[in-house]
Structure 1
Amino acid sequence: MRLSRLAVVLGFIAIYGTLFSFFKPDLIFSATTTAGGDTGAHHYIADFLIHNLLPKGRITGWSPGWYMGFPMLHFYFPLGFLAIAAMSTVIKYQIAFKIGTLLGVFLLPATTYAAFKVLDFKFPFPLIASGFTLPFLFMESYSIYGGNILSTLAGEFGYSLSFSLLILFLALLYRDIKEQKFRVSTGVLLAMVVLSHVVTTIMALAFSTYFLLNKLNVKRFAILAGVFVLGFLLTAFWSLPFAAKIGYTAHMQWDQLQGINEILPDPLRPFIALSALGILGAIIRRDSRMYIFLWTFVMSVALFFLVPPGRLWNGRVVPFFYYFSFIWAAYGIWFLRRVLAGLFYDYVLLPKRYADYAVAAIAVAVVVGNVFGTSQTATAWINWNYSGFEGKAHWNDFNAINKYIKSLPPGRVMVEHSSKIDTFGTPRAFELLPYFAGHPTIEGTLMEASISAPFHFINQAELSKEPSCAILGIRYPQLNVADGVRHLQLYNIDYFLALSNEVKTQAEKDHDLALLKKFKVRGTDMEFALYKVNTDGYVVIPKYMPLMVDTKDWRATALAWYSKPKLFDVPPLVDANQARALKDSFRTVSADLEGTVQHEPARKGRITNVRIIDDGLDFTTSAIGVPHLIRISYFPNWKVEGADGPYLASPTIMMVVPRQRHVHLYFGETWSDTAGRVLSDIAWLFVAAYALMFAVRKISSLRSSSQPEDAGQGDSTGFAKERSA
């Protein structure tokens, strides 16, 4: 083995030995249910994919478990969950989940090393760069932006995976354009980036503008376009519906980070001088291989300050600046290696031919020492997450609540928000009611994916002592259990689990709540009370005829309506653009809801045989031609047989007008689903055919090379030469 290869092996042993000293194998390979932050709630997503979607040959679909139903994995990133699903076929699900959440963390040193090998850097720079991913991974100045270990443990494991893949993608794209050679593998890797996080996809587009500004010609542009077109086509089954239906999400509004301290936190500052030296060194050496990383470095800073308030949070951009700061610091050390070689020779008589090995060894040793010297939080977080729900002191109490709810008749469960719930493993523990108890709950991790999320958080504010108020830009009400229960009834939420004394005191006085059971959490002051809510079902005939509402902003109009309890019996519909066929059937009001207090009674009827499945609903009615409300969140994929609709009704439920006694609703496809699926099928067939052709050529080449060069050729006497023994 060459000495440089041995050095790389030893370097990786040090790097991954450091990771495994924190992520202890006996913890990762134990069959406990991962807890902690958003990560703990992701079990429902993985479980639903494995047991509901994949058996139907689907990756996206409709889930009833959160937010009165929501489009599962339509607006979230499936690759990490697909990896978990694949691994769960050969190892226990709980272990597969743990490994899946850590893929990005453990891939980053390897993809960083591979990226700089692709760029034709010689030893020791790829190893030094790989080592310098450790201080980035173990940064403790933030825990939610993405990329580092704390963010991964908090729930951003899709970001970490995509981040790791993006680094290698940039290097491969640089190589392809430089060599003016289109490679299918680069497009496939881009597809993997896209399917694991949208922010890294945006950054891939932003960073790739470098190639538009650097020696662009027709062939280079064709390669760049080809890679991105292939990446889009491979992901079109997901990305096209994502783009087409983005309007049916929660419309998150982020407050942007500000100030230089966000860009230059304390853990990064010791490396800044080396980063500056690295940038200077690349400019002096005219090392064009590093210019793309200079571009990404500058773009990260620019986007941080220029991204306006809205759906894209500039905090997601910050990890790129941090990461490339460490990479430039590694380059600074590499740039100094000749100076360091002279010092080694002068002071320790180390021959200069061994200087690179000494530089690599010292660099890796320094960053490993930095990790052990500065990491104060990672160990506790890792132990908390991967010891699982079962490893928590109050697992038995949590399990008892789940078992009782599981024994109840089907129905949605609303839970009071409280930081105290973290004692079970995460504040989001009860988001796993669909997983542990088989009952849908209301809140879920994927709040951005649901049109109903803003209305849930209003309910939460009315029914919680310490609500999260998670979606900005909404006027949240004060604690008011009576109004909260009325809202629960609108959404057919059957159960309410309360914790605080303030909420329970009001709940005891509400005639629409009936106490079922109390649950004392031993050794604490926590006592949950579970109530049955007086509800009237998933399918109802409204007391009064609905109204058409003339609005350009349904969400704002519905929020205004939701804040006025006197209007609850008169749900306005979306305007004529969404329910054009009903324009002449119902009275139309303006977006300010003037006139909506005038009630027109609806004809009564009898609804029977209501049957609900994950992605469908059937019922029989005697009230043909009368509007029926379906208390499931609206989404364009919903179709109906035997009725007109479904139409979007306030706040975010569906309305149908039956044309026969038997009505069937089902979750189908829109044009974007069909078109995306067809495009992706064609693209993946192309990739499969290309891979097959490549394999055939490779096998043929290996067979040819295994034949002796002179086989079958005669010597001067006309006899074939014999093979030497």
Structure 2
Amino acid sequence: MVLAYIAVFLVQPFFLQNNLLNGDTPGIYFSSWYTKEYLFPRITGWDPFFFFGYPENHFYGPLVPYASSLLSLFMPLESAFKLLVAAALLLTPLSFYYFARSFGLSGKDSALAMLAMFSLLFVRPDELVGGNLSSLFESGFVANSVALPVFFFYFGSLKRGAANGLFVLPAVLLSLTLLAHTFSGVAAFIAGVAFAISGWQRQRLVFIARHFSLAFLLSAFWLVPAIAKIGYSDVSTSGTVPFDFLVLTIAVVLAFYLGSRKESGAAEPLAFVALLSGFSFLGKIANVPFHFQRLFMFLVLMAPVIIFFVLRALGRQKALWVPFIAACLLVAVFSPGINPGGVSILKSVQGTDEKIHGRLYIDAPLNAESQFEELQHLIPMQYSANSVKGQQVHSSRNSRYIFYMEQALDGNHSQWGVPLDLNLVSSMGEDARALVPFQMRLFGITHVVSAEKRFEEWEEVQDLFAIYLRDENTGETSLHNYKLYKVGGSPIAEVLKARPEVAEGNWDDAVKGWFMSNAVKDTILVSEPVPGFAGAGGETVDVIEQSSTMERMKFRVNSANPVPVLIKISHFPNWRAYSDGTELRIYRASPYFMLVYAKGEFELRYVNALADTAGYALSAVGIAVVAFILLNRKRPFFGMPA
């Protein structure tokens, strides 16, 4: 019945009506598109489309983009992406049932628990919690929803594996949860720790250690580089688990109560709830960069199984279990409606014959597009043009400076996910806006798509498309006529006429002050002392070769002597520069660009760093371990006895 409901009322409208431009969906769909078009069969690589270049699938879990790309070998990418989401939806109630059965509930009680858990997916405590249905279809948290059934299969396999010592399946599922969604992977790791502290027997601890070790090996190709380069990511603390300290207290009290009644079935779920709530409570105090609201649904979905064991301990299981399930169903029935078809109606925008060799900025504030970030992703994909701002802001340290520029241009622009000093922008007023043309030049922006001519210097190229928006409060309709403008800009690499200045104190603080001041017009900051010479004023830089991903570029510096060359591509440890076989030193330049000193021809390459090579080697070992165990197993199941 539940599967039929999902197929008819969720999957069907999602397949037929959803244009994948709702909430955060365009961000992960873009990653799937880029992986398919530019990276496949590689999993990670450089993406020049947003943030002046960033490592695609490097700080965000790569499972959804890569699985979509793999499926797209047999069908269109849009169908492949939707099929993956549909599979996750259909597997979700099955994972709930498997979870309940793993903890000793009968087939009937497990079915009822599954029904209650699925009903709770209709709860809408906050549009940003992740894991529930509104977060999937409206907020676009696709990776969160794909990871959800994998998490519950993992939790159930832990219970079974702890009893029989078979650890390969839990290890694989833990790895998949992490690769699907980082925050869900953290929740899964906490679940493993909960099993360790729920029973200190040697056999269980060995099982937990083995499955953690194998999961680390299997995911090391992504996890090791992500951890090693986390300083190049940009994550802020956000969200909360409501009443986390109260939930922690209740979980501890229930654990002691059930233990006194010799009811051990809920020990691991209660330990998980306590640890997860404690992590949220202490993490906020310590200002840990994490989106704590993404943990909320894991706590909510533990409730039915925990309540089953509480009712059994109280001797009220037969009297109250079915009424509890009915109450959960009523919550689902009376919750606000879910819209699997989405609300965005855009399918495409008018193309252009204009050759866009630089960067294209999409000036689409929240009050001028129907959905958050839909134009910012649809236009670059359709035009195959490198743009400026994408959804995956945590992938680049440059993202915050794009937000500063946008807020100065129009305060209605969206901003999220990274630490910003918005009071600085508002306090500067028109002075902040006056800096925008110079910031655009710094960023190498040559064209803008906008519904307004923001500056007189902008040269109109053509009309593109119109969007009609209706204000839900007033009922009034507004027209936004988007046009393409030339805005001048600058090349992706240029010789500096003035010697760069060394930033004083904290880099981010210094760069923020520089970026929001007149110094951005003619000065570049560097993070360390550099050679003391600069260009004379007549030198130029030509791009003579460039790969489609910009992972390999050749430049010609028209100068007889070495000069400082600012490369307007995000600084990252995988970059190497060479001239005549000699490696050139790459300096970090403001905001997070690269600076080299060169003459004549030199080459810029994106290569594997030590962490990348180590991660792939460790994952190869993990795959070999799994293959060895499967080929030598004596039991008809994944694993070997601990």
Common fold, TM-score beyond 0.5?
yes
Structure 1 CA distance, aligned partners of 2:407 and 2:570?
Answer: 20
In 1, Cα distance between equivalents of 2:396 and 2:221: 19
1:554 aligns with 2:507: yes
1:390-446 Cα offsets, whole Å, 9 max, x none, are: xx2x65xx511xx12x643333111224223443x5443322323111112111110
When residues 48 and 198 of structure 1 are mapped into structure 2, their CA distance, relative to the original with a 3 A threshold, is same
Query: Is 1:617 paired with 2:553?
Result: yes
Largest Rg, 1 or 2: 1
Q: Specify the code of the residue in structure 1 equivalent to 2:9.
A: F
Give the aligned partner of residue 270 of structure 1: none
Q: Distance in 1 between matches of 2:200 and 2:255?
A: 23
Q: Which of 302, 311, 330 does residue 324 from structure 1 map onto?
A: 302
- Of 414, 417, 440, the residue aligned with 2:361 is 414
From 95, 98, 104, give the equivalent of 2:79.
95
Partner of 2:609: 670
Is 1:41–2:27 an aligned residue pair? yes
In the TM superposition, residue 186 of structure 1 has moved relative to its aligned partner by 1.6
Equivalent in the alignment of 2:276: 300
* Structure 2 residue identity aligned to 1:666: R
**What SS does the corresponding residue of 1:228 show, helix, strand or coil?**
helix
- Residue 95 of structure 1: how far off its partner (Å): 1.9
Confirm or deny that 1:399 pairs with 2:349. Answer: yes
| Residue type at the aligned position of 2:236 | Q
Q: Following the alignment from structure 2 to structure 1, what is the Cα–Cα distance between the partners of residues 626 and 341?
A: 41
Query: What is the CA distance between 1:65 and its match in structure 2?
Result: 0.7
| Aligned pair partner of 1:199 in 180, 183, 192 | 183
Tell me which residue corresponds to 2:487. 533
Q: Given residue 298 of structure 1, which amino acid in structure 2 is its aligned partner? A: A
In the superposition, the TM-score normalised over structure 2's length comes to: 0.87
Aligned-pair CA distance for 1:36: 0.6
1:50 and 2:2 matched: no
Structure 1 residues 446 and 302, CA gap change in structure 2 (3 angstroms): same
Please give the root-mean-square deviation of Cα atoms over the aligned residues, in Å.
3.1
Partner residue in 1 for 2:236: 253
Residues 100 and 420 (structure 1 numbering): CA distance in 2 closer, same or farther, change over 3 Å? farther
Q: Does structure 2 conserve the Cα–Cα contact (< 8 Å) formed by 1:517 and 1:529? A: yes
The 2-side partners of 1:644 and 1:289 are apart by 62
- The counterpart of 1:383, out of the listed 321, 327, 341, is 341
Secondary structure, counterpart of 1:651 in structure 2 = coil
Q: Which one of 519, 540, 548 corresponds to residue 606 of structure 1?
A: 540
Does the CA contact (< 8 Å) of 2:364 and 2:376 recur in 1? no
Q: Look up the match of 1:288.
A: 264
Q: Tell me whether 1:498 sits opposite 2:434 in the alignment.
A: no
Distance 2:122 2:563 in 1: 61
**1:160 corresponds to which letter in structure 2?**
S
| TM-aligned CA deviation for residue 491 of structure 1 | 1.1
**Residue 720 of structure 1: aligned partner:** none
Match of 2:589 in 1: 649
- The alignment-based identity, stated in percent, is 21
CA contact (8 A) 1:413 1:497 kept: yes
CA contact (8 A) 1:554 1:574 kept: yes
Aligned equivalents of 2:87, 2:289: Cα separation in 1: 27
- Is 1:569 the equivalent of 2:556? no
Q: Does the CA-based 8 Å contact 2:102-2:159 persist in structure 1?
A: no
Amino acid at match of 1:19: I
Aligned-pair CA distance for 1:686: 2.2
Any idea what the Cα deviations from partners look like across 1:551-590, whole Å, max 9, x if unmatched? 4x322222222122235422121126xxxxx4xx239xxx
2:479 alignment partner, SS class:
coil
1:633 to 547, 564, 570: 570
Q: Displacement, 1:682?
A: 1.7
In structure 2, what residue type is equivalent to 1:686?
A: V
Change (3 A) 1:116 1:30: same
Matches within 5 A, 1:85-124: 85-124=69-108
Question: Could you tell me how far 1:53 is from its partner in structure 2?
Answer: 1.3
Q: Letter of the aligned partner of 2:435 in structure 1?
A: D
Query: What residue is the counterpart of 1:165 in the other structure?
Result: 150
Distance in structure 1 (CA, Å) of the matches to 2:419 and 2:590: 20
What is the distance in 2 between the residues matched to 1:149 and 1:78? 22
One-letter amino acid of the structure 1 residue matched with residue 509 of structure 2: A
Q: Comparing both chains, which one has the higher relative contact order based on Cα–Cα distances under 8 Å and sequence gaps of 6 or more?
A: 2
Q: Report the AA paired with residue 404 of structure 2.
A: I
The count of corresponding residues between Structure 1 and Structure 2 is 611
After TM superposition, list the pairs within 5 Å mapping 1:121-136 onto structure 2: 121-136=105-120
How far the C-alpha of 1:236 sits from its partner, in A, is 0.7
Q: Note closer, same or farther for the CA distance 1:609–1:76 as it changes in structure 2 (3 Å cut).
A: closer
* d(CA) in 1 for partners of 2:198, 2:490: 65
Deviations 1:664-699 (A, max 9, x none): 1111111100111111112112223333444x9869
TM-aligned CA deviation for residue 79 of structure 1 = 1.1
Distance in structure 1 (CA, Å) of the matches to 2:309 and 2:3:
21
Amino acid at match of 2:6: L
CA-to-aligned-CA distance 1:348-397 (integer Å, 9 cap, x gap): xxxxxxxxxxx77x8766644542x213231xx31226xxx6xx2x65xx
SS of the residue 2:435 aligns to: helix
Instruction: Give the secondary-structure state (helix, strand or coil) at the position aligned to 1:640.
Output: strand
Distance 1:119 1:69, change over 3 A: same
Q: Which runs of 5+ in 2 are unaligned?
A: 469-477, 638-642
1:458 Cα shift?
A: 0.9
Is the CA contact 2:555–2:601 (under 8 Å) kept in the aligned structure 1?
yes
1-structure distance, mates of 2:315, 2:328:
17
**Could you tell me which residue of structure 2 aligns to residue 690 of structure 1?**
629
Q: SS at the partner of 1:124?
A: helix
Structure 2: distance between partners of 1:102 and 1:407: 39
**What secondary structure, in the 3-state scheme, does the structure 1 residue paired with 2:265 have?**
helix
d(CA) in 2 for partners of 1:204, 1:575: 41
Letter in 2 for 1:648: R
Q: CA deviation at 1:285?
A: 4.9
For residues 641 and 261 of structure 1, the distance between their equivalents in structure 2, rounded to whole angstroms, comes to: 53
CA-to-partner distance for each residue in 1:101-128, whole Å, 9 max, x for gaps? 3444332211121123233432222212
Counterpart of 2:25 in structure 1: which amino acid? T
Conserved 8 A contact 2:311-2:317: no
- Pair 63,609 (structure 1): closer, same or farther in 2 beyond 3 Å: closer
Q: Pick closer, same or farther for the CA change 1:24–1:262 going to 2, 3 Å.
A: farther
Q: Is the 8 A contact 1:162 1:193 kept in 2?
A: yes
Do 1:542 and 1:569's aligned partners in 2 also have CA atoms closer than 8 Å? no
Q: Which residue of 1 aligns with 2:380?
A: 434
- Structure 2 counterpart of 1:462: 408
Q: Does the C-alpha gap of structure 1 residues 334 and 81 become closer, same or farther in structure 2, counting only changes over 3 Å?
A: farther
Which residue number corresponds to residue 346 of structure 1? none
Give SS of 2:412's match: coil
Query: Secondary structure of 1:384's match?
Result: coil
Paired with 1:465 and 1:167, the residues of 2 have a C-alpha distance of 42
Amino acid at match of 2:334: T
Give the secondary structure class of the aligned counterpart of 2:415: coil
